[in-house]
Amino acid sequence: MRYIIRLDDACPTMDWNKWNKIITILDKLNIKAIIAVIPNNEDEKMLIDKYNPNFWKIVRQWQNNGHYIALHGYNHKYISKNSGLIPMNKQSEFAGIDIKIQREKIKKGWEIFQKEKIKCNIWVSPSHTFDENTLKVLKKETDINIISDGITYYPYVENGFLWIPQQLWWYEEKKEGVWTICLHPNNMSDKQINDLENILRNNVDKFIFSFDEIINQYKNRKKTIKDKVYFHFFFLKRNFYKTKLFQILYKILKG
C-alpha cells in the first residue's frame, strides 16, 4: 500500500503563502508530489495573489527537486457540462468538446511547457473531466503517457496510457492499493496544512519518493474485476451521499 500526494491548480496568481508552506513540508520529508500546473490560467477563482513573474522559474525548481509536473488542462475554464470518462463532475474544459478545439488547447498548453523547459509526461484534467478525444490528442500532440485519474485499487494500463488512480481528497488508512490524495492548496486552511504536516511525518514511509517504482511495477497491469466493482461502488456511494435521504439520515444519526 502506497500513497501519492497531488497538488492541483498551480498558476502565477495562486495563494503563494499556502503553496510555499506545503512544498517546504514535502521537501523536508523528501516526498515527491504530482504538481498540476495550469499553462495559461483564465479562471477568475485562481486570481488570489498578485501575478508572480518568477512562476515558471519556481516550477522548474520544483521539477529539479524531484516533483512531477503535470499538464493541468490549458486555461481551467469550463465550457461543457459533460462528465466524460469519469462521472465525477458535470463541468469540463474538454469532455464533449470538438476534437479540433481540444487539440488547439492541448497543443498551446504543451507549447508553453516546452518553451518554459518543463518536462512532463502526466495529464491532470480539470474537474476530472475528459473524453476519448482528449486521449487521442494527448497521444498526438504531447509526450504524455500517464493519466493521474481513475477509480481503481492499483495503477493500470489502458488506451496506451498508465492510469494512476486518484481516489482520495484527504489521508485515510488503507490496507492495500496505490492511493492518490488530491489537495487544492489554494483552498486549504492553516489548520489543514498543519494537520497535513503531522500526517506526513507520522506516515512518511508510506508515501512515494520516486515514480519509477510505480511505473515499473504496474506498466503492464490491466484492470481487474475487483477494480471495476470498486469503480461502480465508489460512484454509487458518492451519489447516495448527495441524496435527500442521506441528508435526513445523517441529521437523525447526528442527533
- Answer yes or no: is pLDDT of 169 > 70: yes
> In the structure grid, which three cell numbers stand for residue 90, read together?
458535470
What does the pLDDT read at residue 244? Answer: 53
Based on the domain organization, do 9 and 104 belong to the same domain? yes
The dihedral built from the CA positions of residue 135, 163, 129 and 56, taken in this order, carries a sign that is negative
**What is the pLDDT confidence band of residue 197, given thresholds at 50, 70 and 90?**
very high
What does the pLDDT read at residue 238? Answer: 62
Based on the domain organization, do 167 and 232 belong to the same domain? no
Number of domains, the chain: 2
99-154 pLDDT, tens per residue?
999 999 999 999 999 999 999 999 999 989 999 999 999 999 999 999 999 999 99
Based on the domain organization, do 19 and 128 belong to the same domain? yes
Based on the domain organization, do 202 and 133 belong to the same domain? yes
pTM, rounded to two decimals? 0.90
Based on the domain organization, do 108 and 170 belong to the same domain? yes
Range(s) of the domain holding residue 32: 2-221
What phi and psi, each to the nearest 5 degrees, are found at residue 67?
Answer: -75, 160
Helix 190-202 to helix 16-29 angle (10° resolution) is: 10
**What is the pLDDT confidence band of residue 84, given thresholds at 50, 70 and 90?**
confident
What does the pLDDT read at residue 255? Answer: 47
Torsion angle in degrees (nearest 10) through CA of 11, 60, 164, 172: -70
Place of cell 508572480: 52
What does the pLDDT read at residue 28? Answer: 96
- Rounded CA-CA distance 181/165 in Å is 10
- Answer yes or no: is pLDDT of 240 > 50: no
**Mean pLDDT, residues 84-106:** 91
Q: Which of 140, 143, 153 is nearest to 121 (CA)?
A: 143
What does the pLDDT read at residue 212? Answer: 85
- Answer yes or no: is pLDDT of 171 > 60: yes
Based on the domain organization, do 145 and 252 belong to the same domain? no
Secondary structure, 3-state, 74-133 = CCCCCCECCCECCCCCCCECCCCCCHHHHHHHHHHHHHHHHHCCCCCCEECCHHHCECHH
Q: 89-98, 104-113, 126-135, 239-248: lowest mean pLDDT where?
A: 239-248
Based on the domain organization, do 209 and 151 belong to the same domain? yes
Based on the domain organization, do 145 and 203 belong to the same domain? yes
Beta pairing partners, 162 = 146, 157
Based on the domain organization, do 66 and 179 belong to the same domain? yes
- Rounded CA-CA distance 188/19 in Å is 10
**Mean pLDDT, residues 219-235:** 86
**What is the pLDDT confidence band of residue 228, given thresholds at 50, 70 and 90?**
confident
**Mean pLDDT, residues 164-173:** 95
Based on the domain organization, do 160 and 249 belong to the same domain? no
What does the pLDDT read at residue 250? Answer: 38
Based on the domain organization, do 110 and 129 belong to the same domain? yes
**Mean pLDDT, residues 18-38:** 97
What does the pLDDT read at residue 242? Answer: 54
What does the pLDDT read at residue 233? Answer: 75
* Total count of residues recorded for the chain: 255
Tell me the HSE value of 124 on the side-chain side, using a 13 A CA sphere. Answer: 25
